[in-house]
């Protein structure tokens, strides 16, 4: 069984899912509205939403005939606490963390 932080960071690893989270910062959205700005199928968006829900980053609920998505504002708390331990990352600056981790991975790779 994966550690909860692993699941959260795995969900955040995809740029489409990060974009969806940014959209949900504004307000709850219907699944079709979430899908609108993307050039991928509704089924693909649903899979992304499923990953985000499994990670606890969003909740989904049916209101009448429409499925709605809502950001869980506390869902990133553990990840934020973990990142703050590094001291060099702003809580919300996940792009800086991604660049740091890529640089670390490259520096760990042996030269060809």
Contacts of 62 (CB under 8 A, 6+ apart): 68
Q: pLDDT digits over 24-78, tens only? A: 998 999 999 999 999 999 999 999 999 999 999 999 999 999 999 999 978 888 8
pTM for the whole thing?
0.73
Residue 93 has pLDDT above 70, yes or no: no
CB 23 within 8 A of CB 49: no
Q: Which fold has domain 4-74?
A: Arc Repressor Mutant, subunit A (1.10.10)
SS (H, E, C) the chain: CCCHHHHHHHHHCCHHHHHHHHHHHHCCEEHHHHHCCCCCCHHHHHHHHHHHHHCCCEEEEEECCEEEEEECCCCCHHHHHHHHCCCCCCCCCHHHHHHHHHHHHHHHCCCC
Residue spans of the domains in the chain: they are 4-74
């Amino acid at each position: 069984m994966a550690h909860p932080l692993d699941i959260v960071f795995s969900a955040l690893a995809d740029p489409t899912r990060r974009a969806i989270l940014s959209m949900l910062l504004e307000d709850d959205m219907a699944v079709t509205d979430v899908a609108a700005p993307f050039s991928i199928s509704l089924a693909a968006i649903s899979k992304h939403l499923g990953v985000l829900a499994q990670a606890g980053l969003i909740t989904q609920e049916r209101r009448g005939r429409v499925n709605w998505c809502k950001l869980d504002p506390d869902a990133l708390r553990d990840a934020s606490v973990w990142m703050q331990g590094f001291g060099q990352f702003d809580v919300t600056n996940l792009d800086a963390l991604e660049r740091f981790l890529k640089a670390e991975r490259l520096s760990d790779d042996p030269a060809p």
